[in-house]
Chains A and B, each alone.
Chain A
């Protein structure tokens, strides 16, 4: 509902990236979310991340479902094509879009209702299908647009503004993603841009299905002291399992941390992640170990964040299907139509 036109002027000294674009070139229309909504911080983090990676905005396509979360692709990357589809079905749109053009970067934005309830089936299957994309859930434990019902990610005992208490076990999207074979799984907090931005950058650079569950408080309906998805609880119980720095492929790698304490992970596009282990000997390459830690912290009422799991050896759907390098949407009749003579031969086999 952008009734107010967003001003386009910007400070002449605004920093430009390698493509000569400022962050302004990565912005979208004016947000219509509530003031203080975590989702706006996610938009800001995406703008920051994509600008600093020097990705051309038109090389990104944004897809979403329905809900407060799914509105946000309008608020970043205006020069990217976007598709705000139907409730819970963003994964199928993303799958088709990715099949049609394997060269673009795909950012899927969804919410906890969109992914963990109506779209749970599609979420599970896009993880299985290994679509090369970044899938982010703006997770606030509540249905905002319909005014504050509990969602399936709300923890048992968590209370909404109206005092309604969640009675059911919650669906933990991070555990689910790891279990179903996602090859990059992270959790972050909309209030922690320092953590979120490099995760977005790494997720985009990762080849395969990258998933980030972002705790993103709903200031209007689910930000009480009794809500596990509120600012207070998330700040107090956030346990960072592994922290990363991201260095885009074009940049010279200059270590900010002393050698030996960190691990370098080179992604498929040549970008590098610096991984600082902050929680004992946490190993994000170990799937079972990742699941164990996530669940252990959950039992203690803590929220495990950071890069939780990464597997760089997995093929994406195009590799599994062995599709041609040239995007399908650039193939023409010359590439695709077998022609009249071949049809004659086929006719004969049916005579």
Chain B
């Protein structure tokens, strides 16, 4: 068989371990597991990858994309432009081909003729349907294996270690051995077809690396679920909501493995699928009030419903943990797209003077750590803790360092009086500030036959938890709550600051982090040097104010329209718009280094124009 030259055009993109592959599929067609297989096999070769699912709010039939950036330098933010497109969705093929960089490649199903749409890209026709019709009997397999065939072909095109692929298939179907052979066969069909018909590998290709060795590839929601197991959560109450659903799924999966009492086979956890998010957080608050560690996970619409209860937990000082896996709002918004749009609503959730502890993880490792420590923080401060993840972090796999746990670590249950301690106390006041740090002592129901009981209420109360309409007593309680928050910083993760004494800086948080090293290096190449600060919690540490004070100008980079982090910094750090310039993105796709770099360059040129005018 003579090989078809894919190089009909003069230009062919080239590069080792540095390109973007995008898959355009129909959702519900089984592409997700094939695409995961592709990304993970590259990761197993030790090469840093960052896969992104761009999927519809739908079960079957709508377009879905999977984008994998491969970058040996470890730049794992999104990169604009596609080097190789696997265009197997007829609905979107025209646009998909348009998005390929000049000199890039298009793998498509040639079972049906394709009008050549562009001359400046290289087509890689493979008759996926025909191959599967010929090789497989079962109608389901004929559909499903088209995906596996293109993964096999990509192995040839990009020099993926074929053994890595077959090993992964064997692992995936351990216990279902009958499925291993046809999957391996499908991989081989694609692999051989590509090798027989094209010059393989392409100029863009992979080479085993050590960059990702020793790392893990995990999504943030799985890490949170696991963090809740390690953090000692026993009650999870929730209402299904994309993109938070997989938090409780993961918690349940790990609990079934690790939270079964060996003696009795009984469960040391309980998961309640509530009737709505109001009940979900109510159950978590009820359980926390009674001394269990409890959490709920949700996203924008659910968090809106939880507001009244968050105010109760703040005012009645009941610990509770909420994971907000943010998606695009307002309202239903774009349920399957990502945003950092809930900062303000979460920082001050509920009516009256309220504020809440927010944690901002950036990696699955931090999701795990923050999830576990959020229960300590909530117990210590007796208040809600909201962990602010997002769809990008929660539902996509990310390369990160392995998770760690120190076996000497003890849970911090905060100030809880035991029966013995109550014996020693003359008069117990639930909301008495006996230590002067604004944090009162709690008791669990049933603690002592005659001491320590109190009446929890969302209505105004005095130090003894008795109802009051005395404005001065009310104000004292509010002042104590403010004091408690002022003292909360020592329990919260510090900002991460990289300073070289530059005049300008960047402030960012959460999933923007993946783009920042690349932005920093790209700008440095142009001679623009920026210090960086990643904020990891709210209320803000003093270092945050200092960072702003010490720089002439800071760029506040975030993924929402209204510059919500900047607003918070203005309120809390006394910083001005003159000093803080916003770099915003809110298209629903995680921001990229290109996007941030060009916005900063534009701003700098605007400023120099103004200066010279």
Contact = CB atoms under 8 A, between A and B. Distances in A.
B447 interface: yes
A336 B260 CA distance: 10
Nearest to B272: A95
A340 B407 contact: yes
Given A122-B275, A351-B215, A338 B229 contact: yes
B270 A321 contact: yes
A82 B455 contact: yes
B216 interface: yes
B459 A84 contact: yes
A2 B312 contact: no
B292 A336 contact: no
Nearest to A330: B291
A321 B270 CA distance: 7
Interface stretch (A86-94, A136-144, A269-277, A281-289): A86-94
A340 B404 contact: yes
Nearest to B268: A324
Interface string A283-325: 0000000000000000000000000000000000110011111
A225 B268 CA distance: 55
Given A97-B286, A99-B283, A333-B410, A343 B446 contact: no
A332 interface: yes
B155 interface: no
A182 interface: no
B235 to A, nearest CB: 5
Given A81-B454, A324-B268, A328-B268, A99 B292 contact: yes
B289 interface: yes
B405 A101 contact: no
B294 A96 contact: yes
A328 B236 CA distance: 12
Interface string A26-41: 0001000000000000
Given A95-B272, A346-B403, A101 B267 contact: no
Contacts of B275: 121-122, 124-125
Given A86-B312, A104-B446, A97 B405 contact: no
Contact of A85 (B237, B261, B282, B290): B282
A86 B318 CA distance: 13
Contacts of B308: 86, 89
Given A58-B447, A346-B226, A92 B216 contact: no
A267 B449 CA distance: 25
A74 interface: yes
Contacts of A335: 268
B446 A79 contact: no
A162 interface: no
B582 to A, nearest CB: 36
Contact of B274 (A92, A330, A331, A344): A92
A337 interface: yes
Contact of B457 (A84, A333, A342, A351): A84
A1 B403 CA distance: 52
Contacts of A343: 230, 403-405
Contact of B445 (A80, A323, A346): A80
Contact of A347 (B216, B292, B453): B216
B160 to A, nearest CB: 17
Contacts of A85: 282, 285-286, 312, 456, 458
Nearest to A351: B216
A96 B467 contact: no
A329 interface: yes
Contacts of A2: 466-467
Contacts of B235: 96, 99-100, 328
A57 B457 CA distance: 19
**Which of A56, A103, A318, A340 has the most chain B CB within a 10 Å cutoff?**
A340
B136 interface: no
Nearest to B459: A84
Contacts of B445: 58, 61, 80-81, 97, 101, 104
Contact of B230 (A63, A121, A338): A338
Interface string A92-123: 11111111110110000000000000000110
A78 B464 CA distance: 13
Contacts, number: 233
B426 interface: no
A18 B218 CA distance: 58
B217 interface: yes
B283 A92 contact: yes
Nearest to B263: A324
Nearest to B410: A333
Contacts of A325: 264, 266
A247 B448 CA distance: 27
A59 interface: yes
B203 interface: no
B104 to A, nearest CB: 31
Contacts of B391: none
B292 A80 contact: no
Interface in B272-315: 272, 274-276, 278-292, 294, 308-309, 312
Contacts of B18: none
A230 interface: no
B283 A95 contact: yes
Contacts of A340: 404-407
B28 interface: no
A129 interface: yes
A86 B309 contact: yes
A56 B469 contact: no
A208 interface: no
Contacts of A122: 275, 278-279, 282
Contacts of A321: 267, 270-271
A73 interface: yes
B258 A338 contact: yes
Contact of A58 (B270, B271, B289, B450): B450
A338 B234 CA distance: 13
Given A74-B467, A93-B289, A329-B444, A81 B458 contact: no
Contact of B282 (A61, A93, A342, A344): A93
Given A58-B446, A58-B450, A81-B456, A96 B278 contact: no
A336 B267 contact: no
A189 interface: no
Contact of B287 (A59, A73, A97, A124): A97
15 contacts: A57-B453, A58-B446, A79-B450, A79-B453, A81-B456, A85-B286, A89-B279, A96-B290, A99-B287, A100-B289, A101-B292, A323-B267, A331-B268, A335-B268, A347-B402
Q: What 8 A-B pairs have minimum CB-CB distances, sorted nearest first?
A: A96-B286, A92-B282, A329-B291, A100-B292, A81-B445, A96-B287, A100-B290, A93-B286
Given A95-B283, A336-B234, A337-B229, 18 more contacts: A57-B449, A82-B455, A92-B274, A92-B283, A92-B285, A93-B282, A96-B237, A96-B283, A97-B289, A100-B234, A100-B288, A100-B292, A125-B275, A323-B270, A328-B292, A346-B403, A350-B216, A351-B216
Interface of B: 44, 214-218, 226, 229-230, 232, 234-235, 237, 254, 258-259, 261, 264-272, 274-276, 278-292, 294, 308-309, 312, 402-407, 409-411, 443-450, 453-459, 466-467, 469
